[in-house]
Amino acid sequence: MLRFIVLALLYFWAVVNVDESMMSIGLYIAIPSAFILSFWCTTGKLCDDKCFKIFIIFLLWVAFTWLGAADISVATKQMKRLLGVFLMSSAVCNLATDKRNISWLYALYVVLFIVALNYARTHIVTIKFDIGHDRLDDERLNANILASYTFYATFALFALGNLICQKVYKKIFHLLFLVMIPLSFVIAILTASRQVLLVQIPIIAILLYIKYIKSASIKTKFGFIVAVCLIALVSMNTIIDTYDNSFLKQRSENGIQDDGRLKVLNEAIDVGCENVFIGVGPGNFILHSSQHIFSHCSYTEAFANTGIMGLILYLYLIGKFLKNQWQYYRATKEIVYLAFLSFGIIYVFYNFFYVFYSDLWLMSFFLFVAHNSNTIWINHLSTDITYKESNIG
């Protein structure tokens, strides 16, 4: 019963996180309550998760750099954001120790995506919206966040299609995963975001390969290839015409040297090199940025704000996840680890375009996936040991 209360609190936050009037309730009541109650829902020890332990060490280092921050008020504000990340991630990962919650947690991030889409439909994409000149972007939901939610929802739907046992629901989630293909293109057009295509094309291609090519029968492979060819022939002209008349094409035609984020990224590297040991303090890079914005890159942001140690810890966290997935896949040849590995590789790439570690939704999903993978591996080992013992007996 208690686990459903925690899930309800998390779902409540997912639904109201774009509602300004409900923000305080979500941040200061729902998330802390979910964090506290989640410790009574665990069936394992969160401290056994090495990725989560590395993240805690990373947060402790960030807290240490707060002491040397140039602007304490800015640093304190950033620490509050990171506290929210810790509370949310802990609640999600505590629930993930119970396998009954896994599907509900993946579905949580799908709901988050649907809520964001609905907000965009009702608040941003109005009658006057012109894909040739406008992009989906406002204070509550910017293009980068929606793009990230799209990536997470795609992987979550793929995971749900493989987790659910009932055939009807399994087919529904497989279908919804396929719906993400055209929907990703629509979101790329509406947000005029190149990173949507740069991320969605490879992750969808890899997951389609895993689902319909690698582990499928010859009949399924042939049917899939024929279907892809037919759909491509029918829709190619529409796709090209839509792209040619979009703001996305205009932005894509600009060289990388014309992208303002490249300048900010270089400034973050310079600031990090000048303050290599502890950085300028949590969130303080914006004070050194010529545009007074963050660097839109997890790696440069960590380097500038927390120094070389902060960057190393964050890289170690991601590297640990990738190494684990590769080792698990080599040992078992199970496609679930290949899917996790693919997710991790895209996550590494995506961190060049946005700061993930300071957003409670973005970071909590990565840690949840890492924890889910670790739990599957532990269960595999325990099952293998039990099987061997039964044979010996």
- Output the DSSP codes for 278-346: TTT-TTTHHHHSTTSS--S-HHHHHHHHHHHHHHHHHHHHHHHHHHHHHHHHHHH--HHHHHHHHHHHH
Residue 381 lies in domain? 2-392
Residue 7 has pLDDT above 60, yes or no: yes
Number of structural domains in the chain: 1
Name, of 20-24, 62-66, 122-126, the range with top average pLDDT: 62-66
Question: Would you state the pLDDT for residue 127?
Answer: 62
The amino acid present at 310, given as its one-letter code, is G
pLDDT at res. 227 = 84
Cα–Cα nearest to 317, from 53, 22, 12 = 53
pLDDT tens sequence across 191-210: 888 889 899 999 999 999 99
Checking if the pLDDT of 94 tops 80, the result is: yes
At 279-304, the pLDDT tens digits run 999 999 999 988 888 898 999 999 99
| Contact criterion met (CB below 8 Å) for 99 and 375 | yes
Looking at residue 43, its pLDDT comes to 80
Q: 7-11, 249-253, 282-286 — which is least confidently predicted?
A: 249-253
Query: Would you place residue 20 in the very low, low, confident or very high pLDDT band (cuts 50, 70, 90)?
Result: confident
The H or E element that residue 89 is part of is: helix 72-96
The residue among 55 and 379 whose pLDDT is bigger is 55
CA 10 to chain centre: 16
CA distance 147 to 120: 12
Using the predicted structure, report yes or no on whether residue 388 has a pLDDT greater than 70.
Answer: no
Q: What percent of the chain has pLDDT over 70?
A: 95
